[in-house]
Structure 1
Amino acid sequence: MKSQSLSSASQVVWTFRQAGTDEWMPATVPGGVHTDLLALGRIPDPFVADNELKVQWVAEADWEYRGVFEASPGGRMFLVADGLDTLAEVYLNGQRLGETENMFRTYRWPVDGILRSGQNELRILFRSAVKYCLKRNAEKPLTPKTGMSLEGSVFVRKAPCHFGWDWGPKLPPIGIWRDLRLEQYASARLEDVHLRQQHRNGTVTLSAAVRAERWDNVHLVAHLKVTTPNGRRTYETHLPLEGNQGQLAVRIRNPQLWWPNGYGEQPLYDVEVSLEAEGTVQDRKQVKMGLRTVELVREPDAWGESFTFVVNGVPVFMKGSDWIPADSFPTRMSEAQYEHLIRSAAESHQNMLRIWGGGFYEDERFYDLCDRYGMLLWHDFMFACYIYPHDEPEFIENLRHEVNDNVRRLRHRACIALWCGNNEMEQGWADWGWTNPNDPLRVLEREAYEKFFYHTLPEWVHELDPDRPYWPSSASSNVPFQAPNSPERGDMHYWDVWHGRKPFTAYRQQFPRFMSEFGFQSLPPMETIATYADPEDWNMTSYIMEHHQRSGNGNGLMVAQMTDSFRLPKDFPSLSYLSMVLQAEGIRYGVEHWRRNKHRVSGTLYWQLNDCWPVASWSSIDYYGRWKALHYAAKRFYAPILLSIEDQGALMEVHVTSDLTEPWQGQVRWALQTLDGETLRSGEVAVSLAALQSAKVCSLDFQTEIEATLDRKREVIFVADLYQGEKHLATSVATFVPNKHLKLVEPGLNVQVSRSGKQAIFEVTAHSLARFVELKLAGADAIFSDNYFDVLPGRKVQVTCVLPQGWTLAQVKKALRVQSLYHSFA
């Protein structure tokens, strides 16, 4: 098999134009109309100010792409498109090959007799998905109006969030968004390869079910070769095919198992399946595979039914977040940007991401990184929050191809733990007023929903990928329309703190079996705000700041919750800082509670990891890759050994939670002390944990001490430190009053800066309590080993960062910016 890329990087000359006009402009493939127009200076940057509104015409128009390329036809020739976005007609040398209606599908057209030797012309006409959706919605309105997304977007198989979401803009891309190529075969090709693994008694049987497409009667032989991760050993077998199908297998004794992040290594075996005819390779498929088992254990227990992921026989508490598309224009995503996000998740001890159903099936770079970093995936299919036309046979047939393409493409991946039908559609039917027995269309669609997500889709998935669990919806109890957010079974989305304006303490009243969504918003860092808002717009209720806030009264909700915890900030940069600290504190509060109860709760995925544009949102990493306070907090609250305090007025309970697969011993040293460091009462307690255990190690009542004087509770804090031997692992601080009522004074922060190799070292001290200390380097996006941390008087906190390229120590000292909670209002 030979493959010829038709991308711009392969010397193909691509141009594009608005349909009905004469001007052809240079284009980039893969790419899109918005990014091409932006590169040519024809539209303003839609991420700046309110420019999004000025470019709506782009998605409302039809567009045409033209590619001119050289070819040398021979054998069987196919044009293969991995991603056309979305409604397209494809012409080669003036002959119509077909049309597309699904950005998630791979389309393949035979081009024998059409492809010429020498120069060829490929033209692709894209029709406006926006106009199509509005037309279909006028004919058959399905979902109640929300204003969040384009009405009728459910009728086209395109990323739902492209039409707007409560964190994203309305900028539907249009164009050739994935690889486009010619494939050339002689006698046969591999139509399908299904790799499976069976684990038994320390041996893995790795099998390959092969299906070939052939064009003559030559004798075909399938080969399977598996090479160990270190390349030192190879397992091989071959099989003459009877007809077009066959199954091969090798046995791997003492396999190197693949583990989630934090539980072991991620060795990947090289697997090659090839197809030969008369000694000549006709086609081959090469992948990397991690050998592991994943089960979703759902068993009756004292609280209902468990929901625990078990990997290689070990129950794993899932620590993670929800993933959304990382750019509104996905072709702009580089491998370096993908790696930064996945590596950042791994560095914060996450072991699972949920691929949210309002985006798209990611490309191979993303899954490669998840395999490498041990990042398990809860993988939604691409349905979210709306009623889809599952009653239409043509729609179902389109979905069948979509599911077939993507499950077959991804089923060998070690990282994928579960297939999930959709995001929050079941909740819509159960709780959002979609159900209406007096509306025949609603009755029909409700029945169609149940048929598709409880019967049709799981049957497809089981046929294609029988070794992975399937879950109908997130959130769901696995019973159609019944208690999709049940605390007794299934997974939960808990939004009463954000949308319901409940305090963070409400998290402690929830005991889900698996928390797959919960979150709280923050502003991004000021460096990001400055990319879309001028200083005159740096106000929470300004037009531009509200334009970059898509969750209704989101800015107001942030400020309201902020006043519960903090004093009003002195300026807008302090507001940005406080919003991030508030977000981090809220999510920490919930995660620590659920990890303390890991015998009952089996995982937490906070909403959300990342952004698709610069915006106020629930993310822990902003659009430009900058870590917010939440991501630093996640590195602490997702640590393998977690120290946490359950504060109940004057009562302080100290807990230690272990994700280690072996016993752990250490000590907790605690103290009641004043803000300037005077110790009023202290103690030490030994900690001995079994593998994977969480335990309360002490309970302390300070009623007498905090009521000694009228203001005493404003002047003291409770501090717990976790040690293993003399190695200090963690510090946790709890207060007896909200942070806004603490009698904080100027902490006298001092930072000594030094250098060791390529690292800058910062030693931070204070003469009084400094809460949520933030370090920044002006002019550099530095990621520190820790940030937004507490500094206690008489102690030294050491953090590091990679020295910005080309910087001297003097430059670091000059660029260093330090602030704390006190400085946000004083």
Structure 2
Amino acid sequence: MFDRWKLKDFAPGEGRALGAFTEHFTMDDEWIAISAPGDVYQALTAAGRIQDPFYDRNELACAWVREREWWYRLEFSSVEAATLQADERFHLIFEGLDTFATIWLNGQELGSSFNMFREAVFDVTSRLRPAGTNTLVLCFDRPHDRIQDLTPPSWGLPMLDEIPGLGGKRTLMRKAQFGYGWDFGPDLPTVGIWRPVRLVRQRQAILAGVHFVTEQIDQAQDLALISLKAEVERFAGEGPLTVTFQLLDPEGAEVSAGTRTLLPGESTVAHFTARIEHPRLWWTPELGEPVLHTLRVSLSQGELLLNEQELQVGLRTLRLDQASDPEEPGTTFFRFILNNVPIFARGANWLPASSLVGSVSDERYTALLTAARDANMNMLRIWGGGIYEQDQFYALCDRLGLLLWHDFMFACAPYPENDADFVREVSAEIQYQVTRLRNHPSMALWSGNNEVQMLHQLLTSSIPGVPPLSGLLYFDEIMPRLVQEYDGHTPYWPGSPFGDGMREGDYHDWHVWHGIPLPPDDSSTGLPAGGLDLSLFMEPASGPTPEAVSFVHYAEDRARFISEFGMHASPTAETLRRVIPEDQLYHHSPAIDHHNKDNPKNKGDLLMSSVTGLPQNLEEYIDFSMIAQAEGLKFGIEHFRRRKPHCSGSLVWQLNDCWPGLSWSMLDYYGFGKASYYYVRRAYAPVLASFKALPDGSVELWLTNDTQQELHETITLQVRTFAGQTLWEQTLAVQMAATGSQPVWRSEPFQGADMAGQYLQVRSQQNRFPANRHFFAAIKDLERAPAAVEYTITRQGEHELQVHLRARTYAFFVHLTGVDEQTKISDNYFDLGAGEERTITLVNQAQALTPEQVSVAWR
């Protein structure tokens, strides 16, 4: 009923002056079609009024969109209103309006909404026409008009307040903060109906809230204790009400059930508790299956069913352990305990899946989140500059076993505390979102913001006169109170990062990418000695050196939980070809640099110069930037995982992109995996073998086991030349405990001028972990002959190909391209030793695959 609308724009104030909210307003030839949920930019592109804002530099030509007011119009019938009973009502529910909206029904104003992040609900019982047509009209005002007379709180540094992402009037709006530009995405502030619209018929009473909690898991007794609270809102009728719940296992068998009666004038909340024997628990993938149960809660009066809710829930407990770490005195853990089992969080940061937030399809969510699960991830962090996601996102995380670290939507700026309306709006938003998401087993933690306290601490350590931080009212008072009141079980953390990182809390390791020295051992702030030189972020001339941005500095990081770290890389060649004009397809072209929102633009060049050397053409730039990113993330993840349990989490910045740009993502905007995606998939394997280089030239082999099974393994270590000669070999039988990490072998110091022509590798004879290798020199300095690979491509039915490869000499960075983003590749961007063979499978269920599509390349 509410998915097909008409859209028109006016100059600010013009629509009201012309009576665009009235029922008989026409100008029919000037309205264009738009879907809801949807996006204004997409509708304008389809109508030919703008060019694709993601192509070339078209983003700049779309700036006029924010200067207009946007009107939505819809006509609908409500025949149900003719049968309305005296004890019934109709509610019109807008789940998401972006952002300053006024709503009219049949020419009468219903009210307004000022917050993109919470629903707007209107009682339309007396305003619906039981026969004929109803006219629903919305006006979205130009945001600037609503805040032009307000002054945002400041960092005290005009140059910072003016940088996209670090301040400005965006903080005065409860609107997706990244929409006005960030260091990974465009300046395309969205507008319109971005979440569903519903007309709901209700009778006598409704279930206003359902809260399911697993109170305790007792593995010894094979028992779970659950509680359930059902809140009832009665608006008509007088008789007793009955609340019934039923919990069903995945096969539909009843696990638990109960009934409560609520008498008039007494409690409006029904409480239940139950014991479940032999519970089937919800786990992350490396520990078990993410088993979901169906919870049905119904509200009745006698035989009349008034309201019913059906939820997917998981039997699981989760807590945040911050106890003292006895092996590293003066530090504390920061680790999640799932069903009494400590876990290492292997994951990434999640950005909105498109800058056009109302346009993301269920299929896009499924592809991206399945890719995260398939990369051996068990946690995503929803970043605080984006959005609270669509319902489908959370349902998929529940099904896939992905835990969620969830920021509230505040990022990188001070926020106003002295505006009572703003404070009330934020409080209502927090209550709404906590209540909305509390039943999802994937919800692991609420965090107050992204980098607000960190930036203030950084500035006060470096610059005199920085004002006190505005926004702590939310992070220190309102948020923790509302999370406790409306959830009570999901942990709350004041921000990300928070704490000094090296000793407690979580940490954002941007020292490597920005070329900043890590804090000294005695730091209590997590900042370099003497504060921070802000010029590192401003101009290439004063920026970092190649040595400073070398990823080997990750080995100096002693933090407890790494909630951000990353490296920049190009998207795939196919993605660049879709958005960059052919005459601009060269490194640092104006169009390519426009799609790189990070500054200075030469940071990636510095990284490449220390890893691969500088590229000479676009093909080399794509490969070299991907190699540098992939090797850097691999190195960092292996270091963090070896430090388990002292470090208990590694969340890469970032999993995905909001537009087809140059960024820190592992999956580009169209879903193609960069090299880093496949490197990280191997580095996040539940069992990992990794090498640690020591100062004396020796090398340790570590095993990290994130599973619940004790590890008994036979491994083979070899030193080989790139030409294929085996210089040394050893076979080891190893044993290690579940969920542990430890060294299992150490070499004598490796010495000699010929080490650049050799490498050390490890393999599992039982295939319990991916093979790994250690180079004795930077990739650009390796001494090896040009690689040679033989391969054949054969069809295995219409939708599957197999590529069989054999390397005659060491082949680095072997990769398969040419297929579209729907094609699943079993592995990619890998090395082949001399004489080694591998078979790679490509599957595309949506369309046929042919051998001619596939290109195979290597370095």
TM-score tier by shorter-chain length is over 0.9
C-alpha distance in 1 between matches for 2:127 and 2:563 = 50
C-alpha distance in 2 between matches for 1:78 and 1:40 = 33
Judged with a 3 Å threshold, the aligned counterparts in structure 2 of structure 1 residues 720 and 265 are, in CA distance, closer, same or farther, namely same
* Matched AA of 2:574: E
Partner of 2:316: 292
Instruction: Work out whether residues 142 and 388 of structure 1, in 8 Å CA contact, stay in contact via their aligned partners in 2.
Output: no
Q: Does 1:123 align with 2:137?
A: yes
Of 214, 225, 228, which aligns to 1:197? 214
Cα shift readout 1:311-368 (whole Å, capped 9, x = no counterpart): 0000000000000100011222111110111100000100000000001111110000
Of 632, 644, 651, which aligns to 1:586? 632
C-alpha distance in 2 between matches for 1:133 and 1:528 = 38
Using the aligned pairs only, state the percent identity.
33
Q: Does 1:522 align with 2:560?
A: no
Instruction: Work out whether residues 212 and 245 of structure 1, in 8 Å CA contact, stay in contact via their aligned partners in 2.
Output: no
C-alpha distance in 1 between matches for 2:616 and 2:796 = 37
* Matched AA of 2:104: Y
* Matched AA of 2:161: K
Cα shift readout 1:493-523 (whole Å, capped 9, x = no counterpart): 0101111243111100001110000001101
C-alpha distance in 2 between matches for 1:44 and 1:600 = 51
Q: Does 1:160 align with 2:184?
A: no
SS at match of 1:498: helix
C-alpha distance in 2 between matches for 1:416 and 1:779 = 33
SS at match of 2:181: strand
C-alpha distance in 1 between matches for 2:822 and 2:472 = 48
Instruction: Work out whether residues 259 and 374 of structure 1, in 8 Å CA contact, stay in contact via their aligned partners in 2.
Output: yes
Partner of 2:756: 714
* Matched AA of 2:183: D
Q: Does 1:85 align with 2:94?
A: no
Partner of 2:671: 625
SS at match of 2:770: strand
Q: Does 1:745 align with 2:760?
A: no
Partner of 2:69: 62
SS at match of 2:388: coil
C-alpha distance in 2 between matches for 1:625 and 1:776 = 13
SS at match of 2:771: strand
**What TM-score, normalized to structure 1?**
0.92
Judged with a 3 Å threshold, the aligned counterparts in structure 2 of structure 1 residues 101 and 142 are, in CA distance, closer, same or farther, namely farther
C-alpha distance in 2 between matches for 1:162 and 1:643 = 41
Structure 1 unaligned blocks of 5 or more: 478-482, 822-826
Instruction: Work out whether residues 406 and 443 of structure 2, in 8 Å CA contact, stay in contact via their aligned partners in 1.
Output: yes
SS at match of 2:568: coil
Judged with a 3 Å threshold, the aligned counterparts in structure 2 of structure 1 residues 141 and 386 are, in CA distance, closer, same or farther, namely closer
Judged with a 3 Å threshold, the aligned counterparts in structure 2 of structure 1 residues 460 and 326 are, in CA distance, closer, same or farther, namely same
Q: Does 1:473 align with 2:495?
A: yes
C-alpha distance in 1 between matches for 2:833 and 2:614 = 23
Structure 2 counterparts to residues 206-245 of structure 1, below 5 A: 206-242=227-263, 243=266, 244-245=268-269
Structure 2 counterparts to residues 132-281 of structure 1, below 5 A: 132-137=146-151, 144-149=160-165, 151-199=168-216, 201=218, 202-242=223-263, 243=266, 244-281=268-305
SS at match of 1:475: coil
Q: Does 1:762 align with 2:808?
A: no
Instruction: Work out whether residues 321 and 608 of structure 1, in 8 Å CA contact, stay in contact via their aligned partners in 2.
Output: yes
Q: CA deviation at 1:39?
A: 1.6
Q: CA deviation at 1:209?
A: 3.0
Judged with a 3 Å threshold, the aligned counterparts in structure 2 of structure 1 residues 805 and 745 are, in CA distance, closer, same or farther, namely farther
Of 93, 98, 102, which aligns to 2:111? 98
C-alpha distance in 1 between matches for 2:465 and 2:627 = 48
Q: Does 1:364 align with 2:411?
A: no
Moved more, 689-698 or 126-135: 126-135
Q: CA deviation at 1:568?
A: 3.4
Judged with a 3 Å threshold, the aligned counterparts in structure 2 of structure 1 residues 220 and 502 are, in CA distance, closer, same or farther, namely same
Q: Does 1:458 align with 2:496?
A: no
Q: CA deviation at 1:688?
A: 0.9
Judged with a 3 Å threshold, the aligned counterparts in structure 2 of structure 1 residues 581 and 457 are, in CA distance, closer, same or farther, namely same
Q: Does 1:38 align with 2:45?
A: yes
Partner of 2:659: 613
C-alpha distance in 2 between matches for 1:801 and 1:138 = 52
Partner of 2:598: 551
C-alpha distance in 1 between matches for 2:101 and 2:821 = 43
Structure 2 counterparts to residues 326-337 of structure 1, below 5 A: 326-337=353-364
C-alpha distance in 2 between matches for 1:70 and 1:697 = 72
* Matched AA of 2:704: T
RMSD: 2.1
Moved more, 634-643 or 149-158: 149-158
Q: Does 1:798 align with 2:839?
A: yes
Q: CA deviation at 1:668?
A: 2.3
SS at match of 1:713: helix
SS at match of 1:775: strand
Cα shift readout 1:717-754 (whole Å, capped 9, x = no counterpart): 22222222xx4743222222211122232222111223
Instruction: Work out whether residues 142 and 152 of structure 1, in 8 Å CA contact, stay in contact via their aligned partners in 2.
Output: no
C-alpha distance in 2 between matches for 1:259 and 1:174 = 38
Moved more, 361-370 or 74-83: 74-83
Cα shift readout 1:588-619 (whole Å, capped 9, x = no counterpart): 10000111111210010010000000000000
SS at match of 1:265: coil
Of 726, 729, 745, which aligns to 1:698? 745
C-alpha distance in 2 between matches for 1:574 and 1:133 = 47
SS at match of 2:126: coil
Instruction: Work out whether residues 39 and 359 of structure 2, in 8 Å CA contact, stay in contact via their aligned partners in 1.
Output: no
* Matched AA of 2:666: S
Partner of 1:731: 771
Q: How many residues align?
A: 790
Partner of 2:125: 112
C-alpha distance in 2 between matches for 1:199 and 1:355 = 27
Cα shift readout 1:279-315 (whole Å, capped 9, x = no counterpart): 2111111110011000101111243111110000000
Q: Does 1:668 align with 2:715?
A: yes
Judged with a 3 Å threshold, the aligned counterparts in structure 2 of structure 1 residues 140 and 660 are, in CA distance, closer, same or farther, namely closer
Structure 2 counterparts to residues 349-360 of structure 1, below 5 A: 349-360=376-387
C-alpha distance in 1 between matches for 2:125 and 2:819 = 59
C-alpha distance in 1 between matches for 2:648 and 2:134 = 56
Judged with a 3 Å threshold, the aligned counterparts in structure 2 of structure 1 residues 459 and 797 are, in CA distance, closer, same or farther, namely same
Q: CA deviation at 1:639?
A: 0.3
Judged with a 3 Å threshold, the aligned counterparts in structure 2 of structure 1 residues 656 and 138 are, in CA distance, closer, same or farther, namely closer
Moved more, 228-237 or 579-588: 228-237
Moved more, 486-495 or 328-337: 328-337
Cα shift readout 1:665-715 (whole Å, capped 9, x = no counterpart): 1122122221111112221222111111112121113535x34xxxx1232
C-alpha distance in 1 between matches for 2:783 and 2:423 = 63
Of 823, 826, 829, which aligns to 1:785? 826
* Matched AA of 1:18: F
Q: CA deviation at 1:159?
A: 0.7
C-alpha distance in 2 between matches for 1:732 and 1:253 = 43
Judged with a 3 Å threshold, the aligned counterparts in structure 2 of structure 1 residues 320 and 180 are, in CA distance, closer, same or farther, namely same
Of 337, 345, 358, which aligns to 1:310? 337
C-alpha distance in 1 between matches for 2:414 and 2:144 = 18
SS at match of 1:385: coil
Q: CA deviation at 1:186?
A: 2.1
Q: Does 1:6 align with 2:17?
A: no
Q: CA deviation at 1:632?
A: 0.4
**What TM-score, normalized to structure 2?**
0.89
C-alpha distance in 1 between matches for 2:651 and 2:820 = 32
Q: CA deviation at 1:778?
A: 4.8
* Matched AA of 1:121: T
Judged with a 3 Å threshold, the aligned counterparts in structure 2 of structure 1 residues 434 and 409 are, in CA distance, closer, same or farther, namely farther
Judged with a 3 Å threshold, the aligned counterparts in structure 2 of structure 1 residues 532 and 354 are, in CA distance, closer, same or farther, namely same
Partner of 2:518: none
Partner of 2:503: 488
